[in-house]
């Protein structure tokens, strides 16, 4: 970025390291501690501030555990925090250490196997493994055991972490002089694209925009200008073009959809439905009820109030077919270092072996939200190229920067995925500039 000109990009959408040594990766280490990591991130954020236009926005990924580190670093660099977007997903794997098993391991006590686990029908063996980091359950350890020692019985069922189901996206803006309107006219930046990011609606379910007559309120404390359901406010319902975008996005998975009530006053779980729009609330995740009718059209799950950024396995591998297949690690339980056996659950050989690939639908939405038409999106932590893929599919120019550590091949993966998206876009549109930088 030091070679880039001042005020030269329109937006930043990036998925930086979290500082938790995720899966032992060097690129995610904390640089020596909390303050060292914040100082390092602040330096990056300062360069981002320099190259973005006044009023330009940045969307910066973070996890709940170290989100405050990220926020402090970018704010100390001079960015103005504007909001957070919470992305809720059902695909997270628990990474919790069993305290009971660890106590038995320290004591050298053998736990009795009393049954097979939920994955045992997939040919996994029934035995317990331990290592210097503690007891854990991997793909070959899918069994049910009982505590062996008195102390382990006391702490049976206790762990160290919850299942990850939320990630955060900080929304920052570069300071500017004057009003937003003046800045937009001068630089083209300063606002967010509300109408292109509205949540689609279904007139068969939603109460569409209409006029109504409200009964006068009798309370002496009621003020006519207080807003909601004022008797003088005769407009109610949802606009045809869609709901106002919220700072909550979900992935349409069973785990997430079941949390929403089917209708006002109802409780979860609910079944999903179909609205026929691949960019809508359910899209390809739609399924019909037992009677063949769509539950979405019958009652309308409250999940429809929020944007759904679906993901797919095909999304990860598109464009990478010609690359060498590498071992891909999934998130593991705390204390599990993994292994070299490719049959283990969580270890698969894939062309795209990056452990934190983001949904293209999500990245398209985020780029679309904060980038002006014809703008340039910058990602200083390109990873597997998810931001770039989303940016070019939305018709934006893209600058991606990635530190390629050689054996992981992330730069090659990112380049392949983005160029695949560029070709797809070129089939219908004239693509703009594309720059990808790699540094050894």
CA angle 83, 85, 91 (to 5 degrees): 160
- Residues 70, 14: one domain? yes
- Residues 175, 64: one domain? yes
Of all residues in the chain, what percent carry a pLDDT higher than 90?
40
- Residues 48, 120: one domain? no
Give the tens place of pLDDT for each residue, 26-49.
Answer: 666 777 788 999 999 999 999 999
In this predicted model, which residue has the larger pLDDT, 120 or 422? 422
Return the half-sphere exposure (C-beta side, CA atoms, 13 A cut-off) of residue 71: 14
**Which tokens in the block code for residue 227?**
């807003």
Helices (H), 52-173: 67-76, 99-107, 150-154
pLDDT, mean over the chain? 76
- pLDDT for residue 317: 60
pLDDT band for position 426 (50/70/90)? confident
Return the half-sphere exposure (C-beta side, CA atoms, 13 A cut-off) of residue 335: 19
Neighbouring C-beta atoms of residue 38, cutoff 10 Å: 23
Give the tens place of pLDDT for each residue, 236-283.
Answer: 677 788 889 999 999 888 888 888 876 654 544 444 333 333 333 333
Instruction: Tell me whether strands 129-131 and 112-116 are parallel, antiparallel or unpaired.
Output: unpaired
**Domain of 111, in residue numbers:** 99-154
Strand partners, 243: 199
- Residues 65, 23: one domain? yes
Q: What is the CATH number of the domain that holds 66?
A: 3.40.50.150
- Residues 29, 75: one domain? yes
Residue 141: is the preceding peptide bond cis (ω within 30°)? no
Within a domain: residue 217? no
In degrees rounded to 5, what are phi and psi of residue 5? -75, 155
What is the model's pTM?
Answer: 0.74
Within a domain: residue 292? no
- Residues 24, 55: one domain? yes
Within a domain: residue 300? no
- Residues 146, 52: one domain? no
- Residues 105, 19: one domain? no
DSSP 381: S
- Residues 121, 187: one domain? no
Domain count, the chain: 2
- Residues 56, 176: one domain? yes
- Residues 36, 108: one domain? no
Q: Are 50 and 6 a contacting pair, CB within 8 Å?
A: yes
pLDDT band for position 204 (50/70/90)? confident
- Residues 66, 176: one domain? yes
């Amino acid at each position: 970025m030091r070679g880039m000109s001042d005020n030269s990009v329109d937006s930043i959408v990036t998925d930086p390291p979290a500082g938790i040594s995720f899966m032992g990766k060097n690129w995610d280490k904390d640089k020596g501690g909390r303050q060292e990591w914040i100082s390092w991130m602040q330096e990056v954020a300062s360069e981002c501030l320099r190259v973005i236009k006044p009023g330009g926005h940045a969307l910066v990924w973070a996890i709940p555990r170290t989100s405050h580190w990220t926020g402090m670093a970018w704010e100390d660099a001079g960015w103005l925090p504007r909001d957070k977007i919470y992305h809720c997903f059902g695909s997270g794997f628990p990474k919790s250490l069993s305290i009971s098993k660890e106590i038995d391991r320290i004591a050298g006590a053998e736990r009795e196997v009393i049954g097979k686990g939920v994955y045992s029908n997939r040919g996994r063996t029934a035995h317990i493994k331990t290592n210097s980091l503690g007891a854990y359950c991997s793909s070959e350890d899918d069994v049910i055991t009982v505590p062996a020692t008195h102390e382990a019985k006391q702490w049976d069922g206790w762990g160290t972490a919850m299942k990850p189901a939320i990630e955060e996206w900080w929304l920052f803006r570069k300071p500017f002089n004057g009003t937003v309107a003046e800045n937009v006219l001068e630089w083209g930046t300063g606002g967010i694209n509300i109408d292109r990011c509205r949540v689609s609606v279904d007139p068969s379910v939603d109460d569409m925009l209409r006029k109504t007559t409200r009964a006068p309120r009798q309370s002496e404390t009621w003020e006519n200008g207080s807003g909601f359901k004022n008797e003088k406010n005769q407009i109610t319902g949802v606009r045809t073009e869609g709901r106002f975008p919220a700072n909550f996005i979900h992935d349409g998975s069973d785990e997430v959809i079941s949390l929403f009530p089917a209708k006002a006053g109802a409780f979860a779980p609910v079944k999903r439905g179909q609205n026929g729009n691949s960019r809508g609330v359910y899209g390809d995740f739609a399924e019909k009820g037992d009677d063949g009718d769509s539950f979405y059209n019958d009652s309308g799950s409250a999940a429809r109030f929020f944007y759904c950024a679906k993901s797919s396995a095909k999304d990860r591998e598109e464009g990478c077919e010609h690359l060498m297949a590498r071992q891909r690690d999934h998130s593991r339980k705390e204390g599990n270092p993994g292994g070299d056996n490719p049959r283990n659950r969580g270890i698969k050989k894939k062309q795209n072996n990056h452990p934190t690939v983001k949904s293209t639908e999500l990245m398209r939405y985020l780029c679309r939200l904060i980038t002006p038409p014809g703008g340039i999106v910058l990602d200083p932590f390109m990873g597997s190229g998810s931001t770039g893929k989303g940016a070019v599919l939305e018709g934006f120019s893209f600058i991606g920067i990635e530190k390629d550590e050689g054996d992981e091949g992330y730069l090659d993966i990112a380049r392949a995925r983005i160029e695949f998206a560029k070709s797809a876009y070129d089939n219908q549109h004239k693509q703009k500039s594309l720059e990808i930088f790699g540094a050894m």
